[in-house]
Structure 1
């Protein structure tokens, strides 16, 4: 596989095999190194509106900032702006009351990536054939697993597995969880909604990425669409969205 000389990204989103509407949204700006996936919730079209508002607000805020100034604080401020907009919109329109969305975002500058998330959408780093999860779900069962109150198998089968403990737009303020990672040439970042990870456990995602790369499907479009297709084949019980980003060979350090 030839390593690219510039940052690459591709996204794929699908309603899944069961639902009739797609409440997931995504956006990215290669020039700003900004990527975001949101999974909306709420009645009627509220979830779709919440996720779209959050994505558009974050991308606009990041793209309007000088790239060298991209820091954890800038990303957190963009998320707070998205939260405020979704919350105010839901308070003003009774049809949208209670709407919200999860969010996972990454901003890449040079050989660093700042990751932030709210809810159970995830970010993974794929490096040297291994998948490394970068986020912890803000969900009831995931927190019980971290506290040792549930096993992962019990959490996966729990009827409460859809209950999230943090979301964009459901409260006046929100506290995103953030981290920074060092990147290497050829690294892949995967941002996805839980429609992907509910159908494909981490070891299955690892297997699929390795199989596609070894089979010559090295372009990011093939990787993102291949993962979504596999999630649909595994059941597709929810909307499925992912962004795959590949680091260039000449990362500026």
Structure 2
């Protein structure tokens, strides 16, 4: 999936999703929607076995976007984004209970809502949001994963985490329970040059310095292609999805 669209004067959103070098199917999904009032970008990484993860991620992204598209107006961007993910959780969880083949499916989700002077970011799981400015690349979200817990506890270092055998075990997911806990972050729009949403298939292979160099030197659409290519050249062990918006697109 490789789609670029002009988004009502807000610039081109470049994004690309690839199954990588090892996986048989792509369980990632990403999309965006924008109008004159706001812009919404969402990425998800599904789990739950063959096909189920693919269904969960697509359902989560589409539910989140459809919830916000269906509103007459957005008064509170934080609560709107939070409620859209709560709604997506209800949709995925309900579907998993209706179909035995989908039982236990779930997904990460990371979403970014731009409205007015602020950017609101929400995440569940270990897909990530980074922002780029003149100082470099900053990771905004914090992974909900076993390895991140070990780092926080001081049991392992970040360097040791890079090759930890349990690196892909997440501690929080969308759609696996009736309720979901969501992290929310807020940033001022004028302090950010570009925003990157991605699944762990990118972050497991590509570091922040590599991201920064590629993103600053290329337009958004070309940067997506180069980042996915680099991740595949360095192993491509997982599905890889990346979305970039903002700046000189």
Q: TM-score of the superposition, structure 1-length normalised?
A: 0.90
Pick from 119, 122, 134: which aligns with 1:113? 119
Aligned positions of 1:119-138 closer than 5 A: 119-128=125-134, 130-138=136-144
Separation in 2, partners of 1:159, 1:71: 38
Offset at residue 7 of structure 1 (A): 3.5
Structure 1 position 35 matched with structure 2 position 5? no
Report the alpha carbon displacement of residue 129 of structure 1 after superposing the two structures with TM. Answer: 5.4
**Equivalent residues of 1:101, 1:167 under 8 A apart:** yes
User: Does structure 2 conserve the Cα–Cα contact (< 8 Å) formed by 1:34 and 1:107?
Assistant: yes
Q: What is the distance in 2 between the residues matched to 1:101 and 1:50?
A: 6
SS in 2 for 1:184: helix
Q: CA deviation at 1:247?
A: 4.8
d(CA) in 2 for partners of 1:67, 1:22: 34
Which structure has the higher relative contact order (CA within 8 Å, separation 6+)?
1
Does residue 233 in structure 1 map to residue 237 in structure 2?
Answer: no
How many residue pairs get matched?
240
The equivalent of 2:245 in structure 1 is 245
Secondary structure of the corresponding residue to residue 157 of structure 1 = coil
Please name the residue that 2:14 is paired with: 10
Change (3 A) 1:152 1:9: same
SS for the counterpart of 1:69 is coil
Q: Secondary structure at the match of 1:171?
A: coil
* Distance across 2 between alignment mates of 1:137 and 1:186: 21
**Alignment partner for residue 101 of structure 1, among 104, 107, 111?**
107
Greater Cα shift, 66-75 or 193-202: 66-75
Q: Structure 2 length as normaliser, TM-score? A: 0.91
* Aligned position for 1:23: 27
Q: Which residue of 1 aligns with 2:206?
A: 200
In structure 2, stretches of 5+ residues that fail to align are: 1-8
Gaps of 5+ in 1: none
- Which residue of structure 1 lines up, in the alignment, with residue 56 of structure 2? 50
What's the counterpart of residue 178 of structure 2?
172
